[in-house]
Amino acid sequence: MNGGKSLQEYHRQAYRLQDMVAVCPSMQQVLSVALQIVDVPTANVLLIGETGTGKDTLAKCLHYSSSRWDQPFVPINCAAIPEALLESELFGHEPGAFTGARGRKQGLLEIAAGGTVFLNEIADMSLSLQAKLLAATEDLHFYRVGGTELVQYNARIIAAINRNIQDAILDRSFRADLYYRLNTIQLRLPPLRERKEDLLPLAKLFIQEMCERHGRLPVRELTHEVLECLRKHRWPGNIRELRQVIERAVILSRTDKITVDDILIDTVRLAPGIQITEEGNIKVEFPPDGIALETVERILIERALQAAHGVQAHAAKLLHISRDTLRYRIQKYGLTGTNPHGDKMG
């Protein structure tokens, strides 16, 4: 494949730290620390950032730009894997450790030997498993589930969290001791609304990517109004949202210019009469036929599901309602693309 290139070589070219867009000072700072530690695989890294700010991308860049790029990069989403399974996924198990554990299985920490384990959404790991992980990272060895023999590992651990870390510690979903352990190097990815200088370079990057992908005319420029529009937006979905807005615009544009008509930013047309202002406030002007409360509810549920990657348990938490209530509303509004079992959607 790829003319004889291995997948790892392909990733090595696709995920280069130096290529990450970083014009704004806070992102430059992140990048300069990342470049310093890229070849210090013994240093744990904690990535903090809202959804869509680039945590996955940065984790891959840290791995594929390091001298260990040809070793395994093993990502695991702690929010998407049922509790009982997560432990044996991470640490492996011995035969007969639990019903159904037939043979011996290596855990991801072992499989990633010499490479990187990327523990995504780490605060969703149970506290007892966090304790086991803490012990493993301190001693660089662990027991497989049901095992009595110590297993050594030498993978770098990169953990990511997408919520406020102090909140997670205060509400006891994240152990303070594990936080200090993983926090050797903390990289905080700023939200896009704080990266105004990066908007244009990112937009240009995505225009090029999307023109190639969709075989469109090479779009040369964004009109002045489009830039204004992009700058005013709050970008709740961060870089992922920008990428999607640009993709849609590239597909819709009929000339070599992208105009405001091609730009559809969700929050701007939240619902007739409801807008989000530049400062992030919600502005409501009732049209003559009013606004149905249900419309607002549906939008909020859709947003929560997006933010939770379709994991219903998460979305329910974000909305302060029970899973049953959420399921009922999803049916009521005929929403799709969600996953009741909590597997992360594509």
Interacting residues toward ligand ATP by CB under 6 A: 20-21, 49, 51-57, 162, 202, 205, 239-240, 243
φ, ψ of residue 262 to 5 degrees: the values are -85, -15
Q: Give the helix ranges, DSSP H, for the chain.
A: 7-14, 25-37, 55-64, 83-91, 108-111, 127-139, 165-170, 176-182, 196-214, 224-232, 238-252, 293-307, 312-318, 323-332
Partner from Mg ion, ligand ATP, none binding residue 158, C-beta < 5-8 Å depending on class = none
The separation between CA 340 and the C-alpha centre of its own chain, rounded to angstroms, equals 20
Residue 63 contact partner, candidates ligand ATP, Mg ion, none, CB within 5 to 8 A by sort of partner: none
| 197 interacts with Mg ion by CB under 5 A | no
User: CA-to-CA distance for 336 and 324, rounded, in angstroms?
Assistant: 16
Q: In this structure, are strands 257-258 and 221-222 parallel, antiparallel, or unpaired?
A: parallel
Pairing of strands 274-276, 92-93: unpaired
Residue among 118 and 142 whose Cβ is closer to Mg ion: 118
- The CA R_g of the chain, rounded to the nearest whole Å, is 22
Question: Closer to ligand ATP at the Cβ: 123 or 274?
Answer: 123
- Alpha-carbon gap, residue 176 to 164, rounded angstroms: 13
Decide whether 104 or 344 has the Cβ nearer to ligand ATP: 344
Q: How far is the CB of 120 from Mg ion (least distance, A)?
A: 6
Closest CB to Mg ion: residue number = 56
User: Measured from the CB atom, is 20 or 140 closer to ligand ATP?
Assistant: 20
Q: 198 pairs with which residues across the strands?
A: none
**Smaller CB separation from ligand ATP, 62 or 330:** 62
* Closer residue to ligand ATP (CB): 52 or 342: 52
Piece in contact with Mg ion (CB under 5 A), picked from 50-58, 218-226, 287-295, 316-324: 50-58
Q: What is the residue-wise DSSP string for 107-152? A: -HHHHTTTSEEEEETGGGS-HHHHHHHHHHHHHTEEEPBT--SEEE
Binding residue (CB under 5 A) for Mg ion from 8, 33, 43, 56: 56
The smaller minimum CB distance to ligand ATP, of residues 29 and 57, is found at: 57
User: Given the rule CB under 5 A, which of 18-26, 53-61, 139-147, 302-310 is the region that contacts Mg ion?
Assistant: 53-61
57 binds Mg ion (CB under 5 A): no
Give the residue carrying structure tokens 């870089």.
239
Residue 323 binding target from Mg ion, ligand ATP, none, CB below 5 to 8 Å by type = none
- Residue 82's alpha-carbon distances to 59, 86, 93, 108, in angstroms, are 23, 6, 16, 15
Size of the site for Mg ion (CB under 5 A): 2
Residues within window 67-106 making contact with Mg ion, judged by CB under 5 A: none
Q: Name the DSSP class of 216.
A: P
The residue with its CB nearest to ligand ATP is 54
* Footprint on this chain of Mg ion (rule: CB under 5 A): 55-56
